[in-house]
């Protein structure tokens, strides 16, 4: 029984330590977001998450979604839409850095939603 108490105390101490690290990262994330919105081109979805201090007086922070993250389907559709003459599946894989299976599944879903159509075999254009 004594071993269990000691173990649980060690776990609780570790969790407190992790909470401190998370608070530190949240503070740094807030600083990075200010930097990102100043025009940095190194990050994706700048401003997607904003960390605000809780007004209740506790050390916990509240995460507020301020932007919309881009889904894989949106990324593939955006690339297809940007190519007026159409784009081949292999080029889609290169441009998006997705696996072949993922791209093919997304193409299938976009075709079912009538967002894209096949100009010819393996070449897709926006509808």
Integer-rounded Cα Rg, in Å, for the chain is 23
**3-class secondary structure, 40:** coil
The residues of the chain that CATH labels 1.10.10.10 are: 72-126
pTM: 0.48
Q: How does pLDDT run across 38-67, given as a tens digit for each residue?
A: 444 444 444 455 555 555 555 666 555 566
**Rounded distance, CA 118 to CA 84, Å?**
13
Tell me the CATH number of domain 72-126, given options 1.10.10.10, 3.40.50.300, 3.30.70.930, 3.90.870.10.
1.10.10.10
Q: How does pLDDT run across 62-85, given as a tens digit for each residue?
A: 555 566 667 889 999 999 999 888
Can you name the residues that pair with 120 across neighbouring β-strands? 123
Looking only at the bridges linking them, the beta strands covering 87-88 and 123-126 are antiparallel
Q: How does pLDDT run across 107-127, given as a tens digit for each residue?
A: 999 999 999 999 999 899 998
Predicted local distance difference test score (pLDDT) of residue 30: 67
Predicted local distance difference test score (pLDDT) of residue 22: 78
């Amino acid at each position: 029984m004594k071993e269990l108490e000691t173990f649980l105390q060690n776990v609780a101490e570790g969790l407190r330590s992790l909470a401190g690290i998370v608070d530190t990262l949240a503070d740094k994330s807030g600083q990075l977001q200010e930097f990102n919105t100043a025009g940095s081109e190194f990050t994706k979805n700048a401003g997607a998450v904003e960390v605000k201090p809780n007004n209740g007086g506790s050390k916990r922070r509240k995460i507020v979604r301020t932007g919309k993250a881009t889904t894989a389907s949106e990324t593939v559709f955006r690339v297809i839409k940007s190519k007026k003459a159409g784009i081949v599946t292999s080029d889609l894989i290169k441009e998006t850095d997705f696996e072949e299976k993922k791209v093919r599944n997304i193409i299938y879903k976009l075709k079912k939603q009538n967002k894209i159509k096949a100009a010819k075999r393996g070449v897709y254009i926006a509808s």
